[in-house]
Every structure is written in C-alpha cells, then in structure tokens.
Amino acid sequence: MSASESGHPEGVGGRHVADGPHDPEHDPRASYVLEPEYVAALTDRIVSTTGRTVPVSSPLDEAPLANIPQSSEEDVAEAFRRARVAQAAWARTSLEERSAALLRLHDLVLDRTPEILDLITLESGKARKHAYDEAAHVALTARYYARTGHKHLDTQRRSGVIPVLTRVDHNRIPKGVVGIISPWNYPLTMAISDGLPALMAGNAVVTKPDAQTMLTALLGAQLIEEAGFPRDLWVVVAGPGRELGTPIIERSDYICFTGSTATGKIIARQCAERLIGCSLELGGKNPILVLRDADVELAAEGAVRASFSNAGQLCVSTERMFVADQVYDRFVERFVARTKAMTLGATLDWEVDMGTLISKDQLDTAVAHVEDAVAKGATVLAGGRARPDLAPYFFEPTILEGVTPEMTCFGNETFGPVVSVYRFHDEADAIARANEGEYGLNGSIYSRDGDRARAIAKHIKCGTVNINEGFASAFGSIDSPMGGMRESGMGRRQGSEGIHRYTESQTVATQRLLKIAPNFGMKAETHAKLMTLSLRALKKLGRA
Ligand code: NAD
C-alpha cells in the first residue's frame, strides 16, 4: 500500500510505500519504506567522502529507513571551505533579497507539510500533530526574521562623545560561518529555525544534525535551497557529535548548540578556548504552578499538552506540577482522566495524541525513572508501563504522586512522558520548590488573575514563563527571546537576541570640526576644565 492510500495523498511526495498492511485496529504498527531515489536526493547533500554509512530505522516499527553517509574531519574542512566562499557573496546581498528567500521558505514549508510531517513522524515516531508544531515553528521563524530584518540589522545612529560633532554609526557585521549542532527531538525546527536569522544576518551555516534524524534535517536543507538560498550557504555534515564536534568548533565563527547540559558544557569549554561565542539551549526540569484560583479544566487540558507533547521529549515540557491544596483533588482527577483518555499510537495518522519515544535509550530512561520512583514509594496515577504492542520503544503517558528527593526523577530530567504532581499549601513555598535544582528553562502558572501570575513569574528562575499555557505561548512568540537560565543554557534564540548573536557589533565614529583633545593650542589643564564644565552641562541637560 502506498502512502497516498494511507490517507496522506501528498505525503513524502507520494514517494514512500508501506510494505505491510496498515490496519490500525488489528495491527497498529505500520511498516513504511522510503523509496531509494527519495533518500538519495536527501543524503547526496551530505559532505562525505568516507564511503562509510550508518543505517537508520524508524522507531514506529524498527524498519530500515536509509543508510546515512558519514563525514570525516576532512569533509568538515571541505564543508567550511564551501560555506566561506558562499558567505562572502551572500554578505553582499540586500536585506530585501534575504527576506524574499525567507518568505519563500515560509510558503514552501506550509505547502509541503504532508511530506514534512510524514518524514518527521517516520524518523522520530512522534504524533503527527506534534510534527505539525515543527513546520509551524519554522514558518513563524522565517516570517518573523524576514519582516524584521531591517529593524535588527540596519545601521543605527548613536549619541557621540561630542554632541553633533561626533557622528556614531553602530553596524551589525555578520560573524561569518556559523556551526549549528542540533538534537533529534524536534528534527526539523531544531535543525533549521536557529539558522534562519543567521542567514538573514549575512552568515553561512555548517550544520551537524543528530544522527537519528538526518533525513528530516536534510529535507530542511533542501527546502532552504529551493527557497532561493545558494546551495553552499547551508552545508550539512553527518557523524557522531563527539567526533565531528571539535572539527566544527575549530572552524566556526560562532556555535549554536541545542542538546543536553552535559554536551553543552563540553562545547562551551571548546568555544572559550577559541574565544568564539556560543548559544547553548540545554535541558530542563520544568515546573507548572496551578494556583488556587486556576481554571482547573484549563489547567488539566494544558498539563496534558505540556507534559506529553512529543512524548515528553521536549526541552520545555513539564515534568513537575505544583498544585494548590484548594484545587489539588479536582485537578488531579481531571488530569488523570484526560491522560487516560489519550489516543496512543505509532502511525502517521492525525488522530494520535501521543506517539512513541525515539529510541531504546529514551525508553530505558523512562522505565528506570518510574521503576526507581515506585520502588521508593511513589504512586502511579496513570500510565507507568512500556507498550511494545504499540511500538518497540513506546511508553505510556505517566503521572506520579508522592515523589521525594531520593528518587531519580525528582530532580533529573526524564525527557520522556513522566510527570510528578505535588500538593502545596503556601505560594511562596511552591515558588521555592519550583526553583529548586540547577535548571531554569521554562515554567508555567495557571491562575485567573493575570496580574498576580505575571508578578509571580518574575520570581520563577526560568527563561520563559507561560501563563495559562504550558509552553507554546512563549515558544511560539518569536518576537521575544527564548532560552534558559542557570544550567539550562546561555544566550537566547528568537527575538533580537536570536539574530544579534550572529553579528559582530561595530562602532564607526566620525569626528567633525573639533578633536577629542586640546584644540587651537589650548593647555591640557584648560581643556580638562572645559571638559568638566561640558560634562556637568550634559548631565543637567538630561543627556545619556
Ligand atoms: P546531546 O547533547 O546528546 O546531543 C545533541 C547534539 O549534540 C547531537 O547532534 C549530538 O550528535 C551532538 N553531540 C554529542 N556529543 C557532542 C560533543 N562532544 N561535541 C559536539 N557535539 C556533540 O543531546 P540529546 O540527548 O540528543 O538531546 C536531548 C537534550 O537536549 C535534552 O537534555 C533536552 O532537554 C535538550 N534540548 C534542549 C532544547 C532547548 O531549546 N533548550 C531543545 C531540544 C533539546
């Protein structure tokens, strides 16, 4: 049966086929195969001369998907050579030209969603609706930077040391070639979106996506070229991070990394050695506070999305819920009921509420965290079991109660569909507990009193805080920065910070008429006195 028969008429361009019967009622596992020409068109983009390949298979059913060519250190060097040539020409293009390409990318991504969603789901196992979030996020990011390029990048006039006589221009110069190292959990948007402001600012990109989700990242690269960006402006290498990370960092002018805190620290050290900047988007153990005046039904619905989107394999997903005593029982009853009603599945269909974990490693962590918690006295309110009947690495959406600090999942990121609920009596105590630990990525507050919730947000040590939503309001609002405090990261994506990180600030000061020194044979002491007088006058005039 072909993809077009399985309800996705334009999926993977109609180029993948299922080699087994797809009847979710009797056999919820479908077996999908990508056509070799489709795979080759993608993998040909990888700079690779090693002749080595690594097989990847789908977490839906462990069926092989592709053999991914691997890059060597020399291939990384070649990737940077190409990118540097392309960047030199790209830096001379107008903002209008770059913006037009970003807007074409926006349209292409929306036009090609059936194909994109098929590929993301095949490669990552996530629910189709969560794959859609990725396409939407790329489109939002492309449109935002296309429309705001001038605001962020135009030369700005600044005040000069001598008003009127010193003209100061603040330029934004592209860094050059940006290295992007991305994870597997949101394989399209994590591989692509951070690079769009880099292109808008006049940079080239060399990217190393995670080995498990190369095909989606390569489709993103293909769409970028189709949108009109020169092919060598976005160059892809493939291989293990611990082998290719150093050669990439050694050649980059800036590193954008998304992944675990442990790897982020390694990358930060290497960037420090070279004195290049980096942004690090890392892990989290994200809290939700449900205050006593919360809309309980809204909070329960939001908690399901916040905890189980992409089966919890989301940097900003919720793993800890602190619920006010007054609404605790009602909230837990609704949250558990909604969780138990979720449609679980490992198919390409829209009806699936939660898909599978991506790998055995991810499944092992979820199992270990839940088994450890239960052995130490926690109660499973929902889920708690692996579901090999659905897919090899499937784990149920799981709610735990009675989690204590000795349990692994108390402070460690599960990065899976496991959330703990805690009762609180006092808001100050809830805020302190939400702020425990080393992370500080995303928080959320449910309350009917927006002003009070926003005031509380300032005390939550997280880079984004959502009110009456789990994570999507902040993450989707591209005009404002997103990133982590403490061990959740350094630097920010999105907003002006998300593009300025890819530029060097340059100040050009033009001096007219008077020197910044004694003029007309004036003595140094007299000049100093005049300076003091003018400094006092400028303060009186209210100048900055
Ligand atoms: P990871 O750090 O193991 O891998 C991420 C990327 O880094 C991969 O491409 C990998 O190949 C590469 N890598 C691994 N070792 C490297 C090294 N020594 N040098 C250079 N590159 C190296 O992370 P993961 O487990 O794949 O991803 C999950 C983690 O990412 C979670 O902790 C999650 O919270 C975090 N994450 C954060 C965000 C965010 O925006 N803050 C988004 C997504 C994921």
Report if residue 402 sits inside a domain. yes
**pLDDT of res. 339:** 98
Q: Are residues 247 and 379 in the same domain?
A: no
Q: Are residues 422 and 544 in the same domain?
A: no
Q: What is the mean pLDDT of residues 263-279?
A: 98
Task: Give the span between the Cα atoms of 202 and 102, in whole angstroms.
Answer: 13
Poorest-confidence range of 222-231, 467-476, 494-503, 515-524?
Answer: 515-524
Residue that finishes a domain, picked among 257, 276, 295: 276
Report if residue 25 sits inside a domain. no
| Residues 371-407: tens digit of each pLDDT | 999 999 999 999 999 999 999 999 999 999 999 999 9
Chain mean position to CA 183: 9
Helix (H) or strand (E) holding 328: helix 325-340
Q: Are residues 330 and 214 in the same domain?
A: no
**The domain containing residue 333 runs over which residues?**
286-483
Q: What is the mean pLDDT of residues 168-180?
A: 98
Q: What is the mean pLDDT of residues 117-142?
A: 98
Distance 183 CA to ligand 1 centre (A): 5
**Active-site residue flag, 406:** no
Distance 280 CA to ligand 1 centre (A): 10
Q: For residues 521 and 362, which has the higher predicted lDDT (pLDDT)?
A: 362
- The single residue of 115, 281, 396, 469 carrying the catalytic annotation is 281
Q: Are residues 342 and 444 in the same domain?
A: yes
Q: Are residues 407 and 532 in the same domain?
A: no
Average pLDDT score over the chain: 94
From residue 326, alpha-carbon distances to 25, 196, 221, 296, 333 in Å are 42, 46, 51, 11, 13
Residue 483: is its pLDDT beyond 90? yes
Characterize 235-265 residue by residue with b for buried, 16 or more Cβ atoms within 10 angstroms of its Cβ, and e for exposed.
bbbbbebeebbebbbbbbbbbbbbbebebbe
Residue 18: is its pLDDT beyond 60? no
Please report which confidence band the pLDDT of residue 519 belongs to, taking 50, 70 and 90 as the band edges.
confident
Any ligand 1 atom below 6 A from CB of 357 = no
**pLDDT of res. 298:** 98
For residue 163, what are the contacts with CB-CB under 8 A and spacing of at least 6? 538, 543
Residue 15: is its pLDDT beyond 50? no
Q: Are residues 133 and 41 in the same domain?
A: yes
Any ligand 1 atom below 6 A from CB of 282 = yes
Q: What is the mean pLDDT of residues 440-447?
A: 98
Residue that finishes a domain, picked among 483, 502, 530: 483
Among 46, 214, 246, 260, which is best to mutate for testing ligand 1, by the most ligand atoms less than 8 A from CB? 260
Q: What is the mean pLDDT of residues 497-522?
A: 95
Please report which confidence band the pLDDT of residue 32 belongs to, taking 50, 70 and 90 as the band edges.
confident
Residue 25: is its pLDDT beyond 90? no
Distance 259 CA to ligand 1 centre (A): 2
Distance 270 CA to ligand 1 centre (A): 16
Q: Are residues 356 and 442 in the same domain?
A: yes
* The ligand 1 atom nearest the CA atom of 211: 11
Domain count, the chain: 3
Joined together, the tokens standing for residue 254 give 């800036």
Residue 352: is its pLDDT beyond 60? yes
Q: Are residues 180 and 63 in the same domain?
A: yes
Please report which confidence band the pLDDT of residue 10 belongs to, taking 50, 70 and 90 as the band edges.
low
Any ligand 1 atom below 6 A from CB of 362 = no
Task: Give the span between the Cα atoms of 347 and 129, in whole angstroms.
Answer: 11
Residue 27: is its pLDDT beyond 80? no
